[in-house]
Structure 1
Amino acid sequence: MTVRPPSAASRALLRLLPKVDLVADDARLTTASQQLGRATVMVLARRAVDDARARLLSDGREPSLDAVVAAVNAEVEALFASRARRVINATGVILHTNLGRAPLGQAVVQALADSAVGYTSIELDLNTGKRGQRAAFAHRALALLTGAPAALVVNNNAAAVLLVLTALAQGRGVVVSRGEQVEIGGGFRVPEVLQRSGARMIEVGTTNRTRLSDYARALDENDDVAVLLRVHRGNFRQTGFVARPDLTALAQLARARGVLLVKDLGGGALVDLAPFGLHGEPLARACVAAGVHLTCFSSDKVLGGPQGGVVVGASDLVARVARDPLARALRLGRLPLVALEATLTAYLAGEFQQVPALCAIQTPIDQVRTRVEGWCARLRAAGVEAQPQAIVAAVGGGTLAEEPLHSVAAAIRCARPSALAARLRCGEPAVMARVHNDAVLLDGRSVRPDEASALMRAVIAAASAKDGG
């Protein structure tokens, strides 16, 4: 293809473009250069000049140094605005996926700091000086905590399910109920994960009712079935005319017919939440006891650790899954692994107070109310009208849907609650609150006790601003 040289008129226009180094050295970009270094500002300046050139040639719009410098500053602002920032979670959603799910305890933070500043024996046997097994402690701890013979950790639960199906069912049939073909956050759907694994999905039952006989019929009609897949419906609830077989009965059918039962547990509770009024989250240990061959779950949901996916179950099956080449691509990184080890250590010791997500779930409602009453008193003393209000919080993270978690919030009623909420989000530290019925609600359950002072300062500053409400 022949490229035409620019016309004389175009060349004359192009001479109007500011030089890249002139843009980068402009005094209005001094802060940007201090933040990013001149080399990066030069890259951004070159991009801005290129954009100005394209506009000039397309519509004859004459560029100006002011406009190009403003474009660079806008790029710098957008770059820093996209960074992950510390946020105080006052939404009442404890495992808020958009806020990183489970916060980590101080012992975990210390373990991360110790590991991050130096080297770690992540894959080294210090006794022999030879290569060791990665994640050996996490695997042993998870086996102890779930009653399973073996365990494996990867980088999230979707990866765990994908890996298990790839290793054990690729090219073969996987039976799944129509009522369990769920969609999780971000548009990821169980049928799509199953398809990606290379397995063939065999649907049984109906949306609301699936019987044991439906699974048996699928086994009779398909001689290539490798897995019966059971998916926990954590992010929604079916009620009314519904049915599905008992997990133990399904496990017995799988064993009798020589196929595997795999459970996608989702949340991954290691302790019973029923004493706190939450009854919808099955224990990983219960799945193992029911005879499930392999159970997959997240480590950053109700377990309260860092992002990760767990597979627990029969030793030979876990070993087969671990040997699959995909396992190497999905392995847990050093820092998440260190954080998971520290979290599991707290579980082994029974020190559940070291797990902030569990603390938030388990805090008695009277204690939450007392905390919020203290906030309201402090806010009123600063001229911010706030009153305690009973509300319903949520565990979140796609778990315990429709399970009420009673809480108390500081309700700030103002003329423009959305404006106040926006100021809180953009403050330092950022505060994520709820807006409901012309009030900004600060939930006392999801805010950590050590964040209270910072929260009060942020709210007072936001409320005292001219457009804060």
Structure 2
Amino acid sequence: MKALRALPSVDQFLLSEPGRALIAQHGRTEVLAALRARLDETRRAIRAGEAGDGLAAGLAGQVAADLAARAHSRLRPILNLTGTVLHTNLGRAILAEAAIEAATAAMAAPLALEFDLESGGRGQRDDHLRGLLCELTGAEDATIVNNNAAAVLIALNTLGAGREAIVSRGELIEIGGAFRMPDIMTRAGVRLVEVGTTNRTHPHDYEAALGPDTGLILKVHTSNYRIEGFTAEVPAPRLAAIARSAGVPLLNDLGSGSLADLSAFGLRREPTVAEAVAEGAELVSFSGDKLLGGPQAGFLVGRRDLIAAINRNPLKRAVRLDKIRIAALEATLRLYRDPDRLAERLPTLRLLARQQAEIAAQAARLAPEVHRRLAPFSFAAEPCACASQIGSGALPVDTIPSAGLRLTGHGGNAPDRIAAWLRALPRPIVGHIRDGALILDMRCLERDADLLDALPAP
């Protein structure tokens, strides 16, 4: 077929100036695969009646576009304007500059990760964080794993495998991704003993369930929901006394967990890790990438002999942290030694502490320019009041007064069209739909230029 002869051969393309440039950028193997796939598609188009000359002229550009798309990471930086500061689907906490610098240094050179520089012998990777965690929480000892679910799993398995774990029915939570506490307990090898009812559990419920097969009592902080109304739960100090009298440990799973009093930043108070330790729990588990503001990790702090037993569990190696996260966590924890400047240095707390007046001024400042850039696409923007939330299960029914931009367009599906258009930008912008509009909450936008640079130029 004559039209097919307009296409270059594989060798001709690879030896051409565009071909050599693509090979220099992507490598011969990648270019060859992309070229063959595009040639096959082009031949099919020509046989279907399209002009061969035009398709041949655009071949180099199409191959270049295909290669660029293949080389583009799916882990793309986005603008989180959802109003959820710790958004699980968007990676939760933004790391502090000190943590980023520490992680970068850890990636660039060998470290004394499990090497004792004084003795020249083998060291323990947990040692880099153990002292800081004990200092900040008041616990005897500490160990670190890759997330809080792993912390609960290994603690249950260590203390209660083949035995019973007592937990209130009102605390049998389901966390993100349909992971349920009863399922985690099953995988840990413990037998679940439910006590009380969904809304009310009393001390005598726990006491009646204790027996020779009891391995531990588990208390779970209901961080991602609230039961209100006719309710009762056993406070941690009372539960710790019950466990102590029975000679079994209490594991208090705080979920998000916080090392700082959130009320100092204008938020409703959450129990701190230090308070949970002081209340008598033998073990306390919490996350590193939520309210603490660090990378993904799970911590267990508490009684020295129990931590030692957990560290001897073969599961520990399967859930341990790498050097990069340990370095970032160490830098993050050090920030808590200076509480007066914590909100200034830790992005999570800095964003949560932003005042509505400041955010409203930013929204008003940005609205005219954003409206001008959206107008050619038949979208409009105006300032609005809105409400932010912490996210990742913390204070689920509490919101924080905020402000943002209300984006509208023509037609009932305009919010979905605007949302899809913003997600398709080179740097995607993600908001939330409410009351017939797409809301861009400005709480997590610290620089005006980040939003303007992400939008098409006027």
TM-score by length of 2: 0.84
* CA apart distance, 1:224: 0.6
Distance 2:189 2:15 in 1: 56
Alignment counterpart, residue 270 of structure 1, candidates 259, 278, 303: 259
Asked if residue 341 in structure 1 is aligned to residue 330 in structure 2, the reply is yes
Alignment counterpart, residue 29 of structure 2, candidates 16, 25, 39: 39
Q: Deviations over 1:86-115 (max 9, x none)?
A: 111111100011110000121211112222
Q: Deviations over 1:369-411 (max 9, x none)?
A: 2222222244356575533211111100121101111111122
* CA apart distance, 1:437: 2.6
Give the AA of the match of 2:29.
A
Q: 1:72 to 1:256 in 2, by over 3 A?
A: farther
Asked if residue 169 in structure 1 is aligned to residue 160 in structure 2, the reply is yes
Gaps of at least 5 residues in structure 2 are 1-9, 40-54
Q: 1:214 to 1:45 in 2, by over 3 A?
A: farther
Q: 1:126 to 1:409 in 2, by over 3 A?
A: same
Asked if residue 370 in structure 1 is aligned to residue 365 in structure 2, the reply is no
Q: 1:206 to 1:411 in 2, by over 3 A?
A: same
Q: Deviations over 1:395-434 (max 9, x none)?
A: 0012110111111112223233322222222212221122
Asked if residue 421 in structure 1 is aligned to residue 419 in structure 2, the reply is yes
Q: What is the number of residues matched between the two proteins?
A: 426
Q: Is the 8 A contact 1:429 1:454 kept in 2?
A: no
Distance 2:31 2:306 in 1: 53
What is residue 456 of structure 1 aligned with on the other side? 452
Q: How does 1:307-318 map to 2 (within 5 A)?
A: 307-318=296-307
Identity of aligned residues (%): 39
* Secondary structure in 2 matching 1:206: coil
Q: Is the 8 A contact 2:256 2:291 kept in 1?
A: yes
Distance 2:65 2:180 in 1: 37
Q: 1:73 to 1:406 in 2, by over 3 A?
A: same
* Secondary structure in 2 matching 1:176: strand
* Secondary structure in 2 matching 1:422: helix
Asked if residue 234 in structure 1 is aligned to residue 232 in structure 2, the reply is no
What is residue 315 of structure 2 aligned with on the other side? 326
Gaps of at least 5 residues in structure 1 are 1-20, 50-65, 465-469
Distance 2:20 2:298 in 1: 45
Q: 1:431 to 1:212 in 2, by over 3 A?
A: same
Asked if residue 143 in structure 1 is aligned to residue 134 in structure 2, the reply is yes
Give the AA of the match of 1:409.
G
Q: 1:86 to 1:226 in 2, by over 3 A?
A: same
Asked if residue 410 in structure 1 is aligned to residue 418 in structure 2, the reply is no
Q: 1:422 to 1:106 in 2, by over 3 A?
A: same
Q: Is the 8 A contact 1:293 1:313 kept in 2?
A: yes
Asked if residue 194 in structure 1 is aligned to residue 185 in structure 2, the reply is yes
What is residue 283 of structure 1 aligned with on the other side? 272
* CA apart distance, 1:31: 9.1
* CA apart distance, 1:282: 1.6
* Greater Cα shift, 271-280 or 354-363: 271-280
TM-score by length of 1: 0.82
Alignment counterpart, residue 95 of structure 2, candidates 78, 101, 104: 104
* Secondary structure in 1 matching 2:439: strand
* CA apart distance, 1:457: 2.5
Q: 1:386 to 1:75 in 2, by over 3 A?
A: closer
Distance 2:285 2:254 in 1: 6
Q: Is the 8 A contact 1:145 1:270 kept in 2?
A: yes
Alignment counterpart, residue 393 of structure 2, candidates 384, 398, 418: 398
Q: 1:422 to 1:383 in 2, by over 3 A?
A: closer
Distance 1:77 1:280 in 2: 48
* CA apart distance, 1:209: 1.1
Q: Is the 8 A contact 2:260 2:272 kept in 1?
A: yes
Q: How does 1:172-183 map to 2 (within 5 A)?
A: 172-183=163-174
What is residue 82 of structure 2 aligned with on the other side? 91
* Greater Cα shift, 73-82 or 372-381: 73-82
Give the AA of the match of 1:454.
D
What is residue 433 of structure 1 aligned with on the other side? 431
Q: Is the 8 A contact 1:267 1:281 kept in 2?
A: no
Distance 1:186 1:117 in 2: 34
Distance 1:426 1:252 in 2: 56
Give the AA of the match of 2:365.
G
Distance 2:186 2:166 in 1: 12
Give the AA of the match of 2:220.
V
Q: Deviations over 1:188-235 (max 9, x none)?
A: 11011110011111111111111111110100xx32101100111111
Q: Is the 8 A contact 1:29 1:73 kept in 2?
A: no
Q: Is the 8 A contact 2:164 2:193 kept in 1?
A: yes
Q: Is the 8 A contact 1:424 1:458 kept in 2?
A: no
* Greater Cα shift, 28-37 or 375-384: 28-37
Please, what is the CA RMSD of the aligned residues? 3.3
Give the AA of the match of 1:37.
G
Alignment counterpart, residue 176 of structure 2, candidates 163, 182, 185: 185
Q: 1:47 to 1:150 in 2, by over 3 A?
A: farther
* CA apart distance, 1:316: 1.1
Distance 1:72 1:194 in 2: 52
* Secondary structure in 2 matching 1:282: coil
* Greater Cα shift, 96-105 or 438-447: 438-447
